[in-house]
Amino acid sequence: MNQTPQNTATGAMSSAATRDNDDDAIDLGRLFGILLDHKQWIIAITGLFAVIGVVYALLATPIYKVDALIQIDDAPSTNPLADVNSILGKEPPSQSEIEIIRSRMVLGRAVDLLNLDVTVTPKRLPLLGDFLVRRGVERPDFAQGWASTWAGESISVSEMPVDDAMLGSTITLRVVDDAHYELIQDGELLGKGRINQLDSFADGQLNLRVTALNAATGAEFELTHISRMQAIQNLRSTFSVAEQGKETGILTWSMTGEQPRELQRTLNTIADIYYSQNVQRQSEEARNSLEFLDNQVPKVRAQLDEAESRLNAFRTSRDSVDLSLETQSVLERIVNLEAQVNQLELTEAEIAKRYTPSHPTYAALLEKKSQLKREMDKLNAQVKDLPETQQEVLRLTRSVEVTQAIYVQLLNKVQEMEIAKASTVGNVRILDDAGILPQPVKPKKAMIVVIMTLLGGMLSVGVILLRAAFRRGVESPDQLEALGLPMYATIPLSDEQGKLSRKVKRATDKHSRKIPNGLLAERNPADLAIEALRGLRTSLHFAMLESSSNTLMITGPSPGIGKSFIAANLAAVCAQAGQRVLVVDADMRKGHMHSIFDERSECGLSDYLAGKKSLEDVIRPVSALESLSYVARGIAPPNPSELLMSARFQDFLTAVSERYDLVIIDSPPILAVTDAAVIGKHVGTTLLVTRFEVNAPKEVEVSLKRLAASGIAVKGGILNAMERKAAGAYGENYGYYNYSYK
């Protein structure tokens, strides 16, 4: 039984619902097959990226690294009471020293000494200039007078003072000869100068002293004087300091840049500046401590003289009173405690210059001082129990001994400070001078090539998979059968047919398109595509036995899928079997059936339907096959759909079906225009053509619905241009496709 339009639509909708359940499924085998199908593209793109990586690795300017090793010891204390400081604890110096090293005090001095605020950049050939210089290529004869610089060419600038208005401006220096140069700014000549003298330019806004010109005539260099703060910031960005380990006091200095010798000189200069300021700072601390002690010695000496005078006066008035053994023991303890208290007071005077009372070091000192005073209060309480005479002698003796101890201690410290001041060496030791690492740290050539190769591979795979995700056409007959469309034939892609096609471009087309030019069934009867059409011929023989007429319409969802190729060659195959066959080009807009037979389109179907030609005039025999005839599309009419809906078209079909055994009608695509729906009502059998990987399953589904809505039952489907692919056919669920067909 023939399949009704309602059954076809119901089957298509049920199969679509089944497909929706599998939309989210990912078939790894299909993805792998897609990659295999496009392996040439993957290899080409990956190879291209690898070549780009190799070229970049060769042309990129190498970045070198220099490093040095510095040791920072605990600063030798010049404090008079260093022992108390050690008891109270001291913070590790590494972090504070790192900040000093990176300060403007150190780096700014290096900028001033090395003129780092003046940059000299040689002009080189684009892309290859730096590469040629690194390879030691000297200026060739044909490049004499060029502005670009070559290997061995350089200049030396010792001074470049400028006004604030000229800061950051780029000035071009052009070599005139071995002793003269000229300055250019924005294409204007500022003036000429001579080496080893300070020349003035731009009304005194720019001064320049060039000490050497080791370049050929015409060589150009760009000079820029940046601000001192900017130069310090630039130096800080390339200079790094890090401590090795935790609280080791070993610091690693490093710098990176394009000129290793300049980096080495800069790093050694920074080390010398830091070492000098460290020694100066230690010497200044010793000087300040010595000055403080010198101020205290006369005061303590006066206090000692006064204490001794009072003690002698008291003994004279009391006839030389001596202390008992118990009182002498208390006296010694009191003297010892007072000496410690005085020592802490000296230390407090030093610490007060650096810390606030809330600092942990200062707070610990105050706590120690309070503890000693509490012990002295206990001893003073014992002294009150002694006789009055003993108490007075004890008090005066204590004052003498305590003051004498302080005085002796101050004299010792003065001697120590004198020695420390004369022998100050600082607490910094340069373990390793700046050295250049043998290999550049950047670029890592092998890594760049590997990364670029991997990037090319991933990018090519990603683009191919993304393209496949958005352009998933029909890939197997099973997909069409899942839509309720029986498959009558699968036509393989013919390489021979590509040779028979030619490109044409019409005024109404945006792009050129290929159209058949010649019958493949005649030129190569053994082609696989023709063998598949012979199988279709057999299937149609039985399918059309139940048909109401011997007319067959071949349509499809979209243009350019091979409907005309199938219609013409199917007609030729049937004619070769002895049938009388007529193939009609019903696409009166853009049909090209006449091109297959290498004739013109005039005098065809549109002319007959318009009443301008008779049936005998429009039917053209094919000389190569006596049993085959065809009707061209004729002159393109303004109203092809109305012509097809006229009674004259039905009369045309009735007449030709009586005269021929098989009438094949090549119709326009159903999704583009309504012509196929009009033609389908007058034919006995309808076949739907889809093209491999071009038409999406959703297009086929919409085509079936549109034909069913017009009351046309599609007998079966044909999958055209099938290719042998590694990828399978999974998933579709694409949206509606609308084709223009003008």
Token output for 602: 């005039």
pLDDT attached to residue 556: 94
The 3-class secondary structure across 150-216, one letter per residue, is: CCCCEEEEEECCECHHHCCCEEEEEECCCCEEEEEECCEEEEEEECCCEEEECCCCEEEEEEEEECC
Supply the pLDDT for residue 9. 44
What pLDDT is attached to residue 395? 65
- 94-101 and 104-114 are packed helices; what angle lies between their axes, rounded to 10 degrees? 30
**What is the structure's pLDDT at 23?**
46
Peptide bond into 492 cis (omega under 30): no
Length of the chain: 742
In terms of C-beta density within 10 A (0-12 exposed, 13-18 middle, 19 or more buried), how is residue 404 classed?
middle
Residues β-bridged to residue 582: 629, 663
pLDDT attached to residue 215: 92
Q: Are strands 551-555 and 625-631 parallel, antiparallel or unpaired?
A: unpaired
Bridge-based pairing of strands 250-257 and 188-194 is unpaired
21 burial type by CB count under 10 A (0-12 exposed, 13-18 middle, 19+ buried) = exposed
Q: 631: which 2 tokens? A: 């009707």
The two beta strands, 170-175 and 180-185, are antiparallel
Q: Which one, of 704, 741, 737, lies nearest residue 588 by Cα?
A: 741
The tokens describing 406, both together, are 């302080």
Query: What are 287's two structure tokens?
Result: 């000087």
DSSP string, 366-425: HHHHHHHHHHHHHHHHHHTTS-HHHHHHHHHHHHHHHHHHHHHHHHHHHHHHHHHHHT--
Nearest to 696 by CA among 544, 534, 471: 471
Which residue, chain included where needed, has tokens 């010595």?
290
Rounded-to-integer distance, Cα 255 and Cα 241, Å: 9
Q: What is the pLDDT of residue 12?
A: 46
Report the distance separating Cα 58 and Cα 448, nearest Å. 11
- What is the reported pLDDT for 456? 94
Going from the C-alpha of 150 to that of each of 173, 387, 487, 734, the distances in angstroms are: 15, 102, 73, 61
Low-confidence ranges of the chain (pLDDT < 70): 1-27, 74-93, 282, 284-288, 290-291, 293, 311, 314-332, 335, 350, 353, 379-395, 398, 417-426, 500-516, 725-742
How confident is the model at residue 585, as a pLDDT? Answer: 94
Collect all residues with Cβ–Cβ distance below 8 Å to 322 and sequence separation of at least 6.
393
The neighbouring-strand residues paired with 193 are 181
Q: Where are the beta strands (DSSP E) in 419-471?
A: 428-436
Global model pTM greater than 0.85? no
Helices (H), 210-259: 228-238
Q: Return the exposure string of 681-705: e unless at least 16 CB atoms fall within 10 Å of the residue's CB, then b.
A: ebbbbbbbbbbbbbbbbbbbbbbbb
Whole-number Å distance between alpha carbons of 255 and 265: 11
How far is residue 519's CA from residue 596's CA, in Å, rounded to a whole number? 6
Predicted pLDDT of residue 513 = 53
Tally Cβ neighbours within 10 Å of residue 6. Answer: 11
State the Cα–Cα distance between residues 438 and 428, nearest whole angstrom.
27
